[in-house]
Amino acid sequence: MKKKPQTTRARAPAKKQMSRRSVIPPQQTDTPQRRRDILLTAVALFSEHGYNGVSLRDIADRANVPITLCSYYFGRKHELFMSLFAQSNDDIGKRLVELRAVVDEPVGKNSLERLVLAWAEPVLRMRADPQSESSAILVARALWDTAEEAQAAIEKFYDPIALVFLSALQKIMPDRELADLVWGYEWALGALLMHVADKRVERISNGQVKSGDPSKCDMLIRFVCAGLRSIPTTREAVNT
C-alpha cells in the first residue's frame, strides 16, 4: 500500500511583539503636561541613579502620577528609557551633519580643531542650559552604565557620531593606525564626559571650579587636540 505524500503546511508569519501598554482608568486624567512631567522626571532620576537604580514606580511617585499612566504613555521601563534618547534625535542629526561637513572639507591646518569643536560644543551647550542639563548628564552616565538597556541606547543613538568622528580623524591623520585613533577617541570622550558630569571637581577645587563650565570649551578643545596629536605615527611606532 502506497504512502500518501506528506504535504508541507505553510507556517503563519510570526506576529510582531507589541508593546504592552496599560489602559488609563476613567478616573485618571490624560494630559500632555503629565506626559511631559513623566519624561522630565525620568531624565532627572536616570541621570542621578543610572538605569538599574530607577523603577517605573520611582518615576511615577516623583512625577506625582499613577504608575499606569507611565505604562500607558511609554510601555515598560526600557521603552521609556529609549524614549528619552529618541527625544534628542533631531539634535543628534544636526551634530552628524556638522561632523560630516568637516569630513567633506579639504584637510587644512585647523581641521582637527574644527572637528573637535563640532563634536564637543553641542554637548557643552546642552550641559549649560538648565532645561537640557539633566539630558546631557544622562548621556554621560549611560556611556558608563553597564546595563544592557543603557548600552543599547548608546549604540543606537551615539555610535553613529563616534563612527563619523573616527572617519574624519582618519582623513585628518592618515599616518596613524585606526586602532590608535579609536583609543584616542575614547580618551577624548572621557575628558568630555568628565567635564560634563563629574561634580568631584567642585570639591577638590574648594568650589573654585564648576562642573560643566562652558567657558572652558576652548581649553578643553586644545587639550583634546593635543592628546590626539600625541598619538604616534605609523613610522614612529615602528621605530620605537
pLDDT of res. 239: 63
Give how many domains the chain has, as a whole number: 2
pLDDT of res. 12: 47
Q: Which one-letter DSSP state was computed for residue 232? A: P
Indicate whether 120 and 75 sit together in one domain: no
The SS3 of residue 49 is helix
Indicate whether 70 and 187 sit together in one domain: no
Give, in order, the Cα–Cα distances in Å from 216 to each of 115, 149, 166, 195. Answer: 17, 32, 24, 9
Indicate whether 52 and 64 sit together in one domain: yes
> Of 86, 106, 121, at which residue does a domain stop?
86
Q: Is the pTM of this model over 0.85?
A: no
Indicate whether 139 and 166 sit together in one domain: yes
> Of 44, 62, 86, at which residue does a domain stop?
86
Indicate whether 163 and 202 sit together in one domain: yes
CA distance 217 to 207: 19
pLDDT of res. 28: 52
Cβ neighbour number for residue 179 with a 10 Å cutoff = 8
Block means of pLDDT (10 residues each) for the chain, 240 residues, are 48 46 50 87 95 96 93 94 92 92 90 96 93 93 94 96 96 96 97 94 94 94 98 77
Indicate whether 78 and 98 sit together in one domain: no
Indicate whether 54 and 96 sit together in one domain: no
Indicate whether 82 and 127 sit together in one domain: no
Task: Identify the domain containing residue 110 by its residue range.
Answer: 89-232
> Does residue 161 fall inside a structural domain?
yes
CA distance 195 to 117: 15
Q: In this structure, what CATH number is given to the domain that contains residue 62? A: 1.10.10.60
pLDDT of res. 92: 92
Indicate whether 133 and 226 sit together in one domain: yes
